[in-house]
Amino acid sequence: MTQQPQIQIPATYMRGGTSKGVFFKLTDLPPAAQVPGPVRDQLLLRVIGSPDPYGKHTDGMGGATSSTSKTVILSQSQQADHDVDYLFGQVAIDKPFVDWSGNCGNLTAAVGAFAISNGLVAADKIPQDGVAEIRIWQANIEKTIVAHVPMTGGAVQETGDFELDGVTFPAAEVNIDFIDPVGDAAMFPTGHLVDELDVPGIGKLKTTMIAAGIPTIFLNAEDIGFNGTELQGDINSEPEILTLFETIRAHGAVKMGLIESIAEAAGRQHTPKVAIVAPPKGYAASSGKPIAADDIDLNVRAMSMGLLHHAMMGTAAVAIATAASIPGTLVNLAAGGGDKSSVRFGHPSGTLKVGAEVKQTSGQWRAQKVSMSRSARVLMKGEVYVPGDVLTG
Protein backbone atom coordinates (compact mmCIF):
# COMPACT_ATOMS: atom_id res chain seq x y z
CA MET A 1 0.00 0.00 0.00
CA THR A 2 1.38 3.41 -1.02
CA GLN A 3 1.61 5.83 1.90
CA GLN A 4 1.31 9.56 1.36
CA PRO A 5 4.11 11.66 2.85
CA GLN A 6 3.46 14.22 5.55
CA ILE A 7 2.60 17.78 4.64
CA GLN A 8 3.82 20.79 6.59
CA ILE A 9 1.79 23.90 7.35
CA PRO A 10 3.01 27.17 8.89
CA ALA A 11 1.54 27.48 12.38
CA THR A 12 2.01 29.24 15.70
CA TYR A 13 1.37 27.66 19.08
CA MET A 14 0.08 30.36 21.44
CA ARG A 15 -1.25 30.80 24.92
CA GLY A 16 -4.15 33.16 25.32
CA GLY A 17 -5.53 33.66 28.82
CA THR A 18 -5.83 30.25 30.45
CA SER A 19 -6.03 28.39 27.12
CA LYS A 20 -3.61 27.53 24.37
CA GLY A 21 -4.07 26.49 20.78
CA VAL A 22 -2.67 26.19 17.28
CA PHE A 23 -3.03 29.38 15.21
CA PHE A 24 -3.09 29.47 11.40
CA LYS A 25 -3.28 32.16 8.76
CA LEU A 26 -6.14 31.19 6.45
CA THR A 27 -3.93 31.58 3.38
CA ASP A 28 -1.32 29.19 4.82
CA LEU A 29 -3.78 26.30 4.94
CA PRO A 30 -3.97 23.88 1.98
CA PRO A 31 -6.53 25.21 -0.53
CA ALA A 32 -9.06 22.48 0.30
CA ALA A 33 -8.94 23.50 3.96
CA GLN A 34 -9.35 27.21 3.32
CA VAL A 35 -13.10 26.70 3.11
CA PRO A 36 -15.43 25.16 5.74
CA GLY A 37 -16.09 21.47 5.38
CA PRO A 38 -14.91 17.94 6.13
CA VAL A 39 -11.39 18.47 4.79
CA ARG A 40 -10.77 21.42 7.12
CA ASP A 41 -12.23 19.52 10.07
CA GLN A 42 -10.18 16.40 9.35
CA LEU A 43 -7.01 18.49 9.08
CA LEU A 44 -7.58 20.22 12.43
CA LEU A 45 -8.48 16.95 14.13
CA ARG A 46 -5.18 15.46 12.97
CA VAL A 47 -3.24 18.55 14.04
CA ILE A 48 -4.62 18.24 17.58
CA GLY A 49 -4.43 14.43 17.64
CA SER A 50 -8.13 13.62 17.85
CA PRO A 51 -10.05 11.45 18.25
CA ASP A 52 -7.85 9.83 20.88
CA PRO A 53 -9.41 6.92 22.83
CA TYR A 54 -6.47 7.12 25.22
CA GLY A 55 -7.32 10.73 26.08
CA LYS A 56 -3.68 11.87 25.88
CA HIS A 57 -3.18 13.57 22.47
CA THR A 58 0.23 11.89 22.28
CA ASP A 59 0.15 12.01 18.46
CA GLY A 60 -0.82 15.65 18.08
CA MET A 61 -0.50 19.20 19.38
CA GLY A 62 -3.46 19.03 21.75
CA GLY A 63 -3.21 18.84 25.51
CA ALA A 64 -6.18 16.48 26.06
CA THR A 65 -8.23 19.11 27.93
CA SER A 66 -10.91 21.50 26.74
CA SER A 67 -8.49 24.40 27.37
CA THR A 68 -5.74 22.95 25.17
CA SER A 69 -7.61 21.28 22.30
CA LYS A 70 -8.20 24.46 20.34
CA THR A 71 -7.53 25.80 16.85
CA VAL A 72 -7.72 29.30 15.41
CA ILE A 73 -7.86 30.49 11.80
CA LEU A 74 -7.16 34.18 11.13
CA SER A 75 -7.34 36.36 8.04
CA GLN A 76 -7.50 40.00 7.04
CA SER A 77 -11.01 41.12 7.85
CA GLN A 78 -13.72 41.18 5.22
CA GLN A 79 -15.84 43.34 7.54
CA ALA A 80 -15.88 47.13 7.43
CA ASP A 81 -14.02 48.85 10.28
CA HIS A 82 -12.35 45.63 11.44
CA ASP A 83 -8.75 44.45 11.21
CA VAL A 84 -8.89 40.68 11.45
CA ASP A 85 -11.44 37.87 11.10
CA TYR A 86 -11.16 35.29 13.89
CA LEU A 87 -12.57 31.78 13.49
CA PHE A 88 -12.35 29.37 16.42
CA GLY A 89 -12.60 25.57 16.33
CA GLN A 90 -13.00 23.59 19.57
CA VAL A 91 -11.68 20.11 18.87
CA ALA A 92 -13.25 17.19 20.72
CA ILE A 93 -10.81 14.87 22.44
CA ASP A 94 -12.45 11.47 22.00
CA LYS A 95 -14.72 12.13 19.04
CA PRO A 96 -14.08 13.10 15.38
CA PHE A 97 -15.76 16.45 15.86
CA VAL A 98 -14.82 20.12 15.59
CA ASP A 99 -17.34 22.45 17.23
CA TRP A 100 -17.71 25.81 15.45
CA SER A 101 -20.72 26.97 17.47
CA GLY A 102 -18.98 29.46 19.78
CA ASN A 103 -16.01 31.64 20.58
CA CYS A 104 -12.99 31.13 22.86
CA GLY A 105 -12.69 34.26 24.97
CA ASN A 106 -9.31 33.27 26.38
CA LEU A 107 -7.64 32.78 22.99
CA THR A 108 -9.11 36.12 21.94
CA ALA A 109 -6.26 37.65 23.96
CA ALA A 110 -3.75 36.16 21.49
CA VAL A 111 -5.61 37.11 18.29
CA GLY A 112 -4.46 40.72 18.16
CA ALA A 113 -0.83 39.81 18.80
CA PHE A 114 -0.85 37.13 16.10
CA ALA A 115 -2.54 39.47 13.63
CA ILE A 116 0.06 42.20 14.18
CA SER A 117 3.04 39.83 14.01
CA ASN A 118 1.78 38.10 10.87
CA GLY A 119 1.01 41.15 8.75
CA LEU A 120 -2.78 41.01 9.00
CA VAL A 121 -3.11 44.55 10.39
CA ALA A 122 -2.46 47.73 8.37
CA ALA A 123 0.86 49.32 9.31
CA ASP A 124 -0.74 52.68 10.11
CA LYS A 125 -2.80 50.99 12.86
CA ILE A 126 0.30 49.85 14.74
CA PRO A 127 2.13 52.36 16.97
CA GLN A 128 5.87 52.06 17.53
CA ASP A 129 5.26 52.24 21.26
CA GLY A 130 2.07 52.30 23.31
CA VAL A 131 -1.07 50.28 22.69
CA ALA A 132 -2.45 48.99 19.38
CA GLU A 133 -6.24 48.87 19.25
CA ILE A 134 -7.14 45.85 17.13
CA ARG A 135 -10.74 45.41 16.04
CA ILE A 136 -11.56 41.73 15.74
CA TRP A 137 -14.53 40.22 13.93
CA GLN A 138 -15.42 37.02 15.78
CA ALA A 139 -16.75 34.98 12.86
CA ASN A 140 -18.31 32.15 14.87
CA ILE A 141 -20.74 34.44 16.68
CA GLU A 142 -20.52 37.47 14.35
CA LYS A 143 -19.56 39.95 17.07
CA THR A 144 -16.93 42.66 17.50
CA ILE A 145 -14.11 42.37 20.02
CA VAL A 146 -11.46 45.01 20.63
CA ALA A 147 -8.03 43.90 21.86
CA HIS A 148 -5.66 46.48 23.34
CA VAL A 149 -2.21 45.06 22.57
CA PRO A 150 0.91 46.61 24.17
CA MET A 151 3.69 47.56 21.74
CA THR A 152 7.38 48.26 22.35
CA GLY A 153 9.83 49.20 19.61
CA GLY A 154 7.34 48.34 16.89
CA ALA A 155 6.83 44.78 18.15
CA VAL A 156 4.19 43.14 20.31
CA GLN A 157 5.23 43.24 23.95
CA GLU A 158 4.55 39.84 25.49
CA THR A 159 6.54 40.00 28.71
CA GLY A 160 5.40 41.93 31.76
CA ASP A 161 4.34 41.69 35.38
CA PHE A 162 0.59 41.11 34.95
CA GLU A 163 -0.47 38.00 36.84
CA LEU A 164 -3.48 35.96 35.76
CA ASP A 165 -4.75 33.22 38.07
CA GLY A 166 -4.57 29.91 36.23
CA VAL A 167 -1.37 30.93 34.39
CA THR A 168 1.95 30.12 36.04
CA PHE A 169 4.10 33.04 34.88
CA PRO A 170 3.42 36.79 34.56
CA ALA A 171 3.19 38.47 31.16
CA ALA A 172 2.04 41.71 29.53
CA GLU A 173 -1.57 42.71 30.19
CA VAL A 174 -3.98 42.66 27.25
CA ASN A 175 -7.29 44.42 27.82
CA ILE A 176 -10.22 42.90 25.95
CA ASP A 177 -13.57 44.57 25.22
CA PHE A 178 -16.47 42.45 23.99
CA ILE A 179 -18.66 44.96 22.17
CA ASP A 180 -22.44 44.44 22.18
CA PRO A 181 -21.93 40.69 22.83
CA VAL A 182 -25.62 39.84 22.43
CA GLY A 183 -26.56 42.14 19.57
CA ASP A 184 -30.20 42.10 18.51
CA ALA A 185 -30.78 38.58 19.82
CA ALA A 186 -32.60 37.95 23.07
CA MET A 187 -30.19 38.08 26.00
CA PHE A 188 -32.53 35.81 27.93
CA PRO A 189 -33.85 33.29 25.37
CA THR A 190 -36.77 32.26 27.59
CA GLY A 191 -37.72 35.86 28.35
CA HIS A 192 -37.08 35.45 32.08
CA LEU A 193 -34.22 36.37 34.41
CA VAL A 194 -34.90 33.18 36.39
CA ASP A 195 -36.51 30.02 35.04
CA GLU A 196 -37.62 26.76 36.59
CA LEU A 197 -35.96 23.94 34.67
CA ASP A 198 -37.62 20.57 35.14
CA VAL A 199 -34.95 17.88 34.74
CA PRO A 200 -36.16 14.25 34.86
CA GLY A 201 -34.56 12.36 37.72
CA ILE A 202 -33.29 15.56 39.31
CA GLY A 203 -36.32 17.78 39.81
CA LYS A 204 -37.14 21.43 39.30
CA LEU A 205 -34.13 23.74 39.42
CA LYS A 206 -33.90 27.52 39.46
CA THR A 207 -31.76 28.68 36.54
CA THR A 208 -30.64 31.85 34.81
CA MET A 209 -30.20 31.17 31.10
CA ILE A 210 -28.31 33.87 29.29
CA ALA A 211 -26.83 34.26 25.81
CA ALA A 212 -24.00 36.73 26.37
CA GLY A 213 -20.48 35.77 25.35
CA ILE A 214 -21.63 32.18 25.10
CA PRO A 215 -24.99 30.58 25.96
CA THR A 216 -24.75 29.70 29.65
CA ILE A 217 -26.99 28.02 32.21
CA PHE A 218 -26.40 29.26 35.76
CA LEU A 219 -27.57 27.26 38.80
CA ASN A 220 -27.36 27.80 42.53
CA ALA A 221 -24.63 25.46 43.77
CA GLU A 222 -26.55 24.47 46.88
CA ASP A 223 -29.58 23.39 44.83
CA ILE A 224 -27.62 20.42 43.47
CA GLY A 225 -25.55 19.65 46.54
CA PHE A 226 -22.43 21.82 46.06
CA ASN A 227 -20.97 24.78 47.93
CA GLY A 228 -19.29 26.58 44.99
CA THR A 229 -15.70 26.08 46.16
CA GLU A 230 -15.14 22.75 44.39
CA LEU A 231 -11.94 22.01 42.47
CA GLN A 232 -11.49 19.74 39.47
CA GLY A 233 -10.73 16.68 41.58
CA ASP A 234 -14.04 17.03 43.39
CA ILE A 235 -16.05 16.73 40.18
CA ASN A 236 -14.09 15.37 37.23
CA SER A 237 -13.37 12.01 38.85
CA GLU A 238 -17.04 11.38 39.63
CA PRO A 239 -18.98 9.90 36.65
CA GLU A 240 -22.35 10.38 38.37
CA ILE A 241 -21.68 14.08 38.90
CA LEU A 242 -20.55 14.54 35.30
CA THR A 243 -23.74 12.82 34.12
CA LEU A 244 -25.76 15.13 36.35
CA PHE A 245 -24.26 18.23 34.77
CA GLU A 246 -24.61 16.87 31.24
CA THR A 247 -28.27 16.02 31.85
CA ILE A 248 -28.92 19.56 33.10
CA ARG A 249 -27.02 20.99 30.13
CA ALA A 250 -29.02 18.97 27.61
CA HIS A 251 -32.41 19.94 29.03
CA GLY A 252 -31.31 23.57 29.37
CA ALA A 253 -30.18 23.61 25.74
CA VAL A 254 -33.66 22.54 24.64
CA LYS A 255 -35.32 25.19 26.82
CA MET A 256 -32.98 27.85 25.41
CA GLY A 257 -33.92 26.82 21.88
CA LEU A 258 -30.38 25.79 20.96
CA ILE A 259 -31.42 22.25 20.07
CA GLU A 260 -34.75 20.59 19.40
CA SER A 261 -34.17 17.29 21.22
CA ILE A 262 -32.06 15.95 24.07
CA ALA A 263 -30.27 13.60 21.66
CA GLU A 264 -28.73 16.56 19.83
CA ALA A 265 -26.79 17.69 22.92
CA ALA A 266 -24.01 15.13 22.36
CA GLY A 267 -23.22 16.78 19.03
CA ARG A 268 -23.06 20.26 20.52
CA GLN A 269 -20.46 19.91 23.26
CA HIS A 270 -19.10 23.45 23.23
CA THR A 271 -22.42 25.19 23.93
CA PRO A 272 -24.24 25.86 26.14
CA LYS A 273 -22.07 25.99 29.24
CA VAL A 274 -23.31 25.07 32.71
CA ALA A 275 -22.07 26.96 35.77
CA ILE A 276 -22.88 26.91 39.47
CA VAL A 277 -22.84 30.07 41.58
CA ALA A 278 -22.62 30.64 45.32
CA PRO A 279 -22.09 33.53 47.75
CA PRO A 280 -18.46 34.34 48.64
CA LYS A 281 -16.70 31.70 50.70
CA GLY A 282 -12.98 31.20 51.27
CA TYR A 283 -11.10 28.22 49.81
CA ALA A 284 -7.67 27.09 48.67
CA ALA A 285 -7.20 27.38 44.90
CA SER A 286 -5.71 24.50 42.91
CA SER A 287 -2.24 26.06 43.31
CA GLY A 288 -2.68 26.18 47.07
CA LYS A 289 -3.18 29.94 47.02
CA PRO A 290 -5.67 31.00 49.73
CA ILE A 291 -8.73 32.85 48.47
CA ALA A 292 -10.48 34.81 51.22
CA ALA A 293 -14.22 35.40 51.18
CA ASP A 294 -13.54 39.14 51.54
CA ASP A 295 -11.55 39.11 48.28
CA ILE A 296 -14.45 38.01 46.08
CA ASP A 297 -18.08 38.88 45.39
CA LEU A 298 -19.16 35.31 44.59
CA ASN A 299 -17.88 31.88 43.61
CA VAL A 300 -18.45 30.38 40.16
CA ARG A 301 -17.57 26.96 38.82
CA ALA A 302 -18.15 26.20 35.13
CA MET A 303 -18.25 23.03 33.05
CA SER A 304 -16.52 22.91 29.67
CA MET A 305 -16.68 19.99 27.23
CA GLY A 306 -18.08 17.74 29.95
CA LEU A 307 -15.58 18.55 32.71
CA LEU A 308 -15.07 21.23 35.34
CA HIS A 309 -12.84 23.95 33.87
CA HIS A 310 -9.55 24.52 35.64
CA ALA A 311 -10.16 28.29 35.76
CA MET A 312 -12.84 30.12 33.75
CA MET A 313 -13.60 30.29 30.06
CA GLY A 314 -13.35 33.84 28.74
CA THR A 315 -16.73 33.63 27.06
CA ALA A 316 -18.34 32.35 30.27
CA ALA A 317 -16.72 35.28 32.09
CA VAL A 318 -18.62 37.54 29.68
CA ALA A 319 -21.84 35.78 30.68
CA ILE A 320 -20.93 36.13 34.38
CA ALA A 321 -20.19 39.85 34.06
CA THR A 322 -23.40 40.51 32.16
CA ALA A 323 -25.65 38.48 34.45
CA ALA A 324 -24.05 39.97 37.58
CA SER A 325 -24.92 43.46 36.32
CA ILE A 326 -28.62 42.68 35.98
CA PRO A 327 -30.54 42.73 39.29
CA GLY A 328 -32.47 39.55 39.97
CA THR A 329 -30.40 36.97 38.09
CA LEU A 330 -28.96 34.09 40.09
CA VAL A 331 -25.46 35.46 39.45
CA ASN A 332 -26.43 38.91 40.70
CA LEU A 333 -28.14 37.48 43.78
CA ALA A 334 -25.15 35.27 44.63
CA ALA A 335 -23.02 38.42 44.52
CA GLY A 336 -25.31 40.17 47.00
CA GLY A 337 -27.87 41.67 44.61
CA GLY A 338 -28.39 45.28 43.55
CA ASP A 339 -26.72 47.35 40.84
CA LYS A 340 -23.21 46.23 39.90
CA SER A 341 -20.85 47.37 37.18
CA SER A 342 -18.15 44.80 37.99
CA VAL A 343 -17.55 41.73 40.13
CA ARG A 344 -14.58 39.67 41.22
CA PHE A 345 -15.43 35.99 41.30
CA GLY A 346 -13.61 32.97 42.62
CA HIS A 347 -12.83 30.03 40.32
CA PRO A 348 -10.75 26.86 40.81
CA SER A 349 -7.45 28.59 39.99
CA GLY A 350 -8.07 31.88 41.82
CA THR A 351 -10.02 35.03 41.02
CA LEU A 352 -10.98 37.17 38.05
CA LYS A 353 -12.47 40.66 37.84
CA VAL A 354 -14.91 41.38 35.03
CA GLY A 355 -17.04 44.42 34.23
CA ALA A 356 -20.12 45.05 32.13
CA GLU A 357 -22.08 48.03 30.84
CA VAL A 358 -25.75 47.11 30.47
CA LYS A 359 -28.96 49.01 29.89
CA GLN A 360 -32.65 48.26 29.81
CA THR A 361 -34.73 49.56 26.92
CA SER A 362 -38.45 48.85 26.53
CA GLY A 363 -38.15 46.10 29.11
CA GLN A 364 -35.30 44.35 27.31
CA TRP A 365 -31.75 44.10 28.66
CA ARG A 366 -28.80 44.80 26.40
CA ALA A 367 -25.09 44.50 27.10
CA GLN A 368 -23.15 47.39 25.57
CA LYS A 369 -19.67 46.20 26.53
CA VAL A 370 -17.96 43.59 28.70
CA SER A 371 -14.32 44.07 29.69
CA MET A 372 -11.60 41.96 31.25
CA SER A 373 -7.81 41.67 31.33
CA ARG A 374 -5.91 38.65 30.00
CA SER A 375 -2.41 37.97 28.72
CA ALA A 376 -0.93 36.05 25.79
CA ARG A 377 2.36 34.96 24.31
CA VAL A 378 3.86 32.87 21.51
CA LEU A 379 5.01 29.45 22.71
CA MET A 380 6.37 28.14 19.41
CA LYS A 381 6.36 29.13 15.77
CA GLY A 382 7.19 27.01 12.76
CA GLU A 383 5.43 24.26 10.84
CA VAL A 384 3.04 21.59 11.98
CA TYR A 385 3.20 18.20 10.22
CA VAL A 386 0.23 15.98 9.38
CA PRO A 387 -0.12 12.92 7.12
CA GLY A 388 -1.09 13.93 3.60
CA ASP A 389 -4.12 11.66 3.50
CA VAL A 390 -6.04 14.07 5.77
CA LEU A 391 -6.74 16.20 2.68
CA THR A 392 -8.96 13.50 1.23
CA GLY A 393 -11.64 14.38 3.79
Annotated active-site positions, please? Answer: 104, 313
Exposed/middle/buried for residue 12 (C-beta within 10 Å: 0-12, 13-18, 19+): buried
Exposed/middle/buried for residue 141 (C-beta within 10 Å: 0-12, 13-18, 19+): buried
Q: For residues 90 and 103, what is the distance between their CA atoms, to the nearest angstrom? A: 9
CA dist 292 → 155, 295, 299, 373 (Å): 39, 5, 11, 21
CA dist 290 → 147, 165, 241, 283, 375 (Å): 31, 12, 26, 6, 22
**DSSP classification of residue 233:** H
Q: DSSP labels for 234-294?
A: HHTT-HHHHHHHHHHHHHHHHHTTS-SSGGGGGG--SSSEEEEEE----EE-TTS-EE-GG
Q: DSSP labels for 183-200?
A: TTS-SSTTS-SSEEEEET
Element housing 316 (H / E)? helix 314-324
Q: For residues 152 and 120, what is the distance between their CA atoms, to the nearest angstrom? A: 18
**Cβ neighbours of residue 239 closer than 8 Å, sequence gap 6 or more:** none
CA gyration radius, the chain: 20
Q: Side chain identity at 198, as an amino acid letter? A: D
> H/E/C letters for each residue in 317-376?
HHHHHHHHCCCCCHHHHHCCCCCCCEEEEEECCEEEEEEEEEEEECCEEEEEEEEEEECE
The count of C-alpha atoms lying within 13 angstroms of the C-alpha of 275, restricted to the half-sphere facing its C-beta, is 37
